[in-house]
Amino acid sequence: MTYKELINHSVKIINGKMKLDPLSRLYGSPHFKIKKEKLNVEELYDIQDRLLEAGIYSNLEKSKRNYYLKVIRGHNPNPKKKMITHIFLFLLTIFTTALTGAMLTHGPISSMRDIVYGLPYSFALLSILLTHEMGHYFASRYYKVEVTLPYFIPIFLPTFHPGTLGAFIKMKSAIPNKKALFDIGVAGPFAGIIVSIIFLIAGFAQLPDTEGIYAHIETIHPLDNPDGINLYLGSNILYDLLASLFDGHRLPMNEVYHFPYILAGWFGLLVTALNLMPIGQLDGGHITYALFGDKARKVAIIAFGLLILLNLYVIAEFNSYVWVLWPILILFFIRFRHPPTMNNKIEIGVTRKILGWVAYFIFIICFSPLPVYIIF
């Protein structure tokens, strides 16, 4: 969109309710202004919504006498952009998660044909991650925010590991207001947890009786192996609830990783909890900023302090360093301060505030203070 086209589109949408500043070219983008007594703020928000529908971002400012509306070119995604990177990373992640799943659910791999045993785990885990990211993607597109398709991060380690470091999308344009920020932030975790619950229920429903569980485990490793590592997965409130409803507690937490749907669902709950931490650019940080504005930084600092205390506790009591990396990631990459949207004046409303507290509740029931630990 050229500068002239941007002015013409904006003038048509504003429809004479504001005047174009003749010095706009000096500012680099068109500015419209109106005296406060001639236009109420609700009408301005309506103008901004209609501009956004046309793919035009706007920023509202005010002085003692006037309202000022700055309009900015929308970022139009190129539909012809090559998809090679996304496809390659996704296919490679299918391979690494299938390979990981085969090792965990079938045992040592004697040939590459054994990778088929890991496909159920790969399918379940990638379904959860893809649903999470596409929740963000479609919410972003709804608000005309330019965003990439998901980038999956493949990894393979010869130890207990999900086979991927997750996935992410990149936003390439500004977020117009706090409503958009909230919806984009909450869409991923809400979508991902639904699929996680589906796979957990499917896994518990397919779980054999106690004898069948141990018979399956014996095909992978001896039950009494003095040289083996007794690796436990930490439970959480939601996992415990589902396990109770479907008699899933007959599966010990140190043998969960031999059952693909349950393992993938467990990882899904963990990913949901990590993303809902109310810090910085995490999903929980988006939600918190939409709820509390600049006060979100204080919430992030408090959450960071609690994370430090959790680190000290699990190190002292369990000699576990499972959370040590997270404070480093927060300090150097995620940070505490959330950038403002283009119009922070638009409030998110009662319904979204309720959903925000629901998101915090989901964080609590999905969070495990000690997600992985070893008992000797």
CB 350 within 8 A of CB 334: no
DSSP string, 313-375: HHHHHH---TTTHHHHHIIIII-SPPPP-SBTTS--HHHHHHHHHHHHHHHHHH--SSSEEE-
The four Cα atoms 207, 212, 213, 216 give a dihedral, to 10 degrees, of -110
| Cα–Cα distance for residue pair 261/265, rounded to 1 Å | 6
| Cα–Cα distance for residue pair 133/77, rounded to 1 Å | 18
Q: Which class for 278: exposed (0-12), middle (13-18), buried (19 or more C-beta within 10 A)?
A: buried
pLDDT at residue number 2: 72
pLDDT at residue number 27: 59
Structural domains of the chain, with CATH:
3-72 (3.30.70), 84-374 (no CATH)
pLDDT at residue number 39: 86
pLDDT at residue number 193: 98
pLDDT tens, residue order, the chain (376 aa) = 677 888 888 889 998 889 888 876 655 678 888 888 888 888 888 898 888 888 788 877 778 888 888 887 665 545 445 689 999 999 999 999 999 999 988 878 888 888 999 999 999 999 999 999 999 999 999 998 888 999 999 999 888 899 999 999 988 777 889 999 999 999 999 999 999 999 999 999 999 999 999 999 998 888 877 666 788 999 999 999 999 999 999 999 999 989 999 999 999 999 999 999 999 989 999 999 999 998 999 999 999 999 999 999 999 999 999 999 999 999 988 888 888 888 888 889 999 999 999 999 999 999 999 999 887 6
> Which runs of E-coded beta strand occur in 134-228?
151-154, 164-168
pLDDT at residue number 93: 98
Cα-to-chain-centroid distance, residue 317? 30
Q: Which two tokens stand for residue 277?
A: 């931490």
pLDDT at residue number 197: 98
Cα-to-chain-centroid distance, residue 229? 32
| Cα–Cα distance for residue pair 203/256, rounded to 1 Å | 10
CB 109 within 8 A of CB 103: yes
pTM for the structure as a whole? 0.82
| Cα–Cα distance for residue pair 61/213, rounded to 1 Å | 64
Cα-to-chain-centroid distance, residue 315? 27
